[in-house]
Amino acid sequence: MKVSFEVPLAHLYDFDEYQDYLFILSHLCENKIYKNYIISSNKFKILDNSAYELKKSISIKQLCDIAEEIKTDVIVVPDVLGNTEETLK
């Protein structure tokens, strides 16, 4: 079983050894401490779109920009009405 969980920003490094991969909330990447932690990690990275937390989706472009900056392995694309298949690709 692989584990990842949300950790308070002040304790990111304290709990690092207990996580097998990072499930990253895109809206938290605005926080310098969080983003630096993510960038410095060599763990498998899954970038979430934060649609649940924000009650709306960030744009695909914003999501891709974040993914490129933090070098994520997987992106969870928002399933939002109006996003065409071409946009999601």
Q: What is the pLDDT of residues 3-35, one digit of tens each?
A: 898 889 999 999 999 999 999 999 999 999 999
Residue type, 24: I
Calpha distance 20→2 (Å, rounded): 6
Give the tokens for residue 2: 């692989």
User: Tokens 């002040």 identify what position?
Assistant: 10
Least Cα distance to 61 among 81, 87, 35 occurs for 87
Q: What is the dihedral of CA 27, 29, 31, 33, to 10 degrees?
A: 140
Give the tokens for residue 69: 């900056």
Least confident of 1-10, 20-29, 41-50, 76-85: 76-85
Is residue 75 over pLDDT 90? yes
Q: How many CB atoms lie within 10 A of CB 57?
A: 19
**DSSP type of residue 50:** -
pTM for this one? 0.85
Percent of the chain with pLDDT over 70: 88
pLDDT score recorded for residue 19: 94
